[in-house]
Amino acid sequence: MKVLLQRVAEASVAVASRTIAEIGPGLLALVGVFPDDGMAEADWLADKTLNLRIFPDASKPMNRSVLEVGGAILVVSQFTLAADLSRGKRPSFGGVAPAEQAERLVEAYAAGLKASCADVQTGRFGANMRVALVNDGPATFLLER
């Protein structure tokens, strides 16, 4: 699994021109799933997301976690993170997890976040989503497991 984390001032997801999720300060988590991924990856990535020290405090620009700052998390499935770009000019999606597996693991990742974080929102799996964000920093981190 891959999770692309972006520290945001705000973020939202719309489907069919209707906002279905929105957060204030916190993290936007774009999640890609591979065929070999399972619950161990989802659990590890949820823990890492919750405890990664990427928010500022009075002494350091990256010293607090999303939990410590009381931030929110917006989780959006993004199968394109699992694309193979090694050959040619067009992405290959042959190595992307099947939809049922991917949906289950994205939901498990979100559930792992919700166990500790009070404000976790999600996009709609498989939908054509419009994601809006104001990147804070900018600060963007790629987690892989």
| C-alpha closest to that of 82 among 20, 36, 133 | 36
Phi and psi at residue 117, to the nearest 5°: -110, 130
Angle at 112 between CA 10 and CA 15, to 5 degrees: 45
Q: Give the model's pLDDT for residue 74.
A: 98
Class in CATH terms, 2-144: alpha beta
With residues binned 3-state (H G I as helix, E B as strand, rest as coil), the percentages for the chain, rounded to 5, are 25, 40, 40
pTM greater than the 0.85 cutoff: yes
Q: Give the model's pLDDT for residue 69.
A: 97
From first to last of its 145 residues, the chain has per-residue pLDDT tens of 999 999 999 999 999 999 999 999 999 999 999 999 999 999 999 999 999 999 999 999 999 999 999 999 999 999 999 999 999 999 999 999 999 999 999 999 999 999 999 999 999 999 999 999 999 999 999 999 9
SS3 40: helix
Q: Give the model's pLDDT for residue 28.
A: 98
Radius of gyration of the chain (CA): 15
Q: Give the model's pLDDT for residue 8.
A: 98
- Taking the chain, what is the end-to-end CA distance rounded to the nearest angstrom? 6
The Cα 75–Cα 1 span in angstroms is 14
Domain coordinates of the chain in residue numbers? Answer: 2-144
Q: Give the model's pLDDT for residue 78.
A: 96
Catalytic annotation, residues: 78-80
